[in-house]
Chain A
Amino acid sequence: MTGRTSCEHVRELAPDVALGLLTGEERAEALDHLEGCEACRAEVASLAVTADEVLLASPEADPPPGFADRVLARLAAERAAGDGLPAVSGARRVAEAGPERPRASRPRRRLRVVALAAAAAIALVIAGLVAVGRDGGGAGDDVAVAVMRTGMGHAVGEVTAAGGDPTVITLDVPGWDEVLERWGDAPAGSYWLVAEHEDGTRTMRALTADVDDWSMRVDAPVDDIATVSMLDSDGRVWCTGWFAPT
């Protein structure tokens, strides 16, 4: 991903990007180009909106009797199990889909800096210096920690945002290799670590096979980070961590 992909080429592929049809290196190169090209991003975005609107043409059917009541009962149970309201953040379309992930315990893919950041976060929480929301860390002082959850809501790890110059985001998903082994149809190779900011912009880093640490430097303060997600090269969101707003 060296920025070789031209606007002309990416615009030709824009519908494929918008529909999530690109895979592998071709998708990675397109995403790399989009990261730095506002015009192409706008093109893809307009096509993605259009693709979503086609869903309005989908057929309708009457569900079995009592369906709505069952949904409402489940929502009530969800509320009773949690602290009430859904997680709040400025994230945009990053929490959909993604297959379930088991909570694996080994091996742990972790660097010393991750352990230090997490320990510091825990210490700050204990000291009451950082507020911790339902699914997320407080975007308080210098460190925030959030639980990484799949689209189905299962916790699979955590993400830490450590303030500094620059802010460093570090992802820890224990047993990642086991997760990949279980979901054998997952694309091998590149993943993307994506931080979404409160203003809707994104910072992305490709996590190719030669990358040892799942961390990323972000040119923004900790409390500017809304969510952090892991995407694969097919563009599927595997997990997301939500940072509660200040």
Chain B
Amino acid sequence: MDGDPFAAPSGREGVWEVSYEALFAGYASGDPEAAAAFVRRVERNVYGLALAIVHDPAEAQDVAQEALVRAWRFAASFDPRRGSVMAWLLGITRNVALDSVRGRGRRPATVADVPAGWSVDTTDLGDVVDRREDAARVIDLVRELPPAQRDALVSVTLLGLSTREVSERDAIPHGTVKTRVRLALRKLRDDMGVRQ
């Protein structure tokens, strides 16, 4: 069609059965079809997390775009021994979002600030039915955590709050928050069977 190597393909047939990792390898190498497919495969995840943290659609779009560009720039730094491509990409997204929020002198989103439309109830972290199997499994395991531990862990990992901020938000001792986070992370690690 045109000479732009990143022009979107006319159809998506054939690439949607390919794993994130395979698409990411193509994304990093500049393969145009893989790049387009990768972006379209992950855009809801990346934009969704960005929006959850900055809760402004325009800013979230900038954050999501920057995260994807950064992932492309530093694709070689992805280490599959450390986890999945999606988790790595969402980690970048979270960091870019937090930089955006903090750079504007605002505090990161708290649970109470999350806009309507995204359930803040950590027993309902998303529509499991349409999730990929790995994400669905993580959601199930997170849901199985004791509520207080779950809330603390989600606040620290997804929303990027410090334990001090969680302590202030929930009016509970800082040490209690740290204990909950530690217990939750260890239990999740054991339940997921993560080993090094």
Contacts and interface: CB of A to CB of B under 8 A. Distances in A.
Given A48-B82, A54-B142, A58-B45, A78 B73 contact: yes
Contact of A64 (B57, B79, B90, B178): B57
A64 B45 CA distance: 13
Contact of A55 (B39, B44, B118, B157): B157
Nearest to B37: A68
A56 B196 contact: no
Interface in A1-42: 12, 15-16, 18-19, 21, 42
Contacts of B94: 55
Interface stretch (A79-87, A138-146, A163-171, A208-216): A79-87
Given A59-B48, A61-B47, A67-B47, A75 B72 contact: yes
A94 interface: yes
Nearest to A23: B162
A123 to B, nearest CB: 29
B59 interface: no
Question: Which of the four size classes fits the interface of chain A?
Answer: 35 or more
Interface string A66-82: 01111111111011000
B46 to A, nearest CB: 8
A69 B138 CA distance: 30
Contact of B186 (A15, A71, A79, A242): A15
A69 B8 contact: yes
Contacts of A16: 178, 181-182
A167 to B, nearest CB: 22
A3 B63 CA distance: 40
Contacts of A49: 82-83, 189, 194, 196
Interface of B: 4-8, 28-30, 35-36, 39-40, 43-45, 47-49, 51-52, 57, 60-61, 64-66, 68-70, 72-79, 82-84, 86-88, 90-92, 94-96, 99, 102-103, 118, 125-126, 134-135, 138-139, 142, 153-154, 156-158, 162-163, 178, 181-182, 185-186, 188-189, 192, 194-196
